[in-house]
Amino acid sequence: MPDHAPQKNDSGDFDVVMIHGRTPDGEGARVLRARPGRVDAGEVRPVREGKPLAVGEVVRLEPRKDAPALFDVKVEHVVEGPPATPSHGGPAQVATSQYRESWERTFGRGSSALK
């Protein structure tokens, strides 16, 4: 009978993933991840150039020879939080206070050149 016990990493702890299906969009895989003291359900997806990482970890999965659905996890990078989002809609505010003061001197306060 094959041994499916988690392999220990360099620190003596184990970190293993079991793939159990595809994501609804077909781009990733659904997984169960076991680490000391916890089991998590989640997804793994390929890293795409130019696409921001949301939250989680960038991992490398090393397949087990004795169990095709089990992989040892090697964490490559931890993503600390969600990507920065603008505080308002629309383009970035690029006008400096000197630009606004000059605008008001030229066109008056509350005026618009497009009126």
Instruction: List, as one string, the DSSP characters of the chain.
Output: ----PPPB-TTS-B-EEEEEEE-TTSSSEEEEEEETTEEEEEEE----TTPPP-SEEEEEEEE-SS-TTEEEEEEEEEE-SPPP--SSSSS-----HHHHHHHHHHH-TT--TT-
Q: Which domain holds residue 69?
A: 16-79
34 pLDDT more than 90: yes
Number of domains in the chain: 1
31 pLDDT more than 90: yes
pLDDT tens digits, one per residue of 59-109: 999 999 888 889 999 999 988 876 566 666 777 777 788 888 888 888 877
Residue 71, domain member (yes or no): yes
CB 12, CB 63: distance < 8 Å: no
pLDDT score recorded for residue 8: 52
Residue with the two structure tokens 């220990």: 8
Residue 44, domain member (yes or no): yes
3 pLDDT more than 70: no
Residue 20, domain member (yes or no): yes
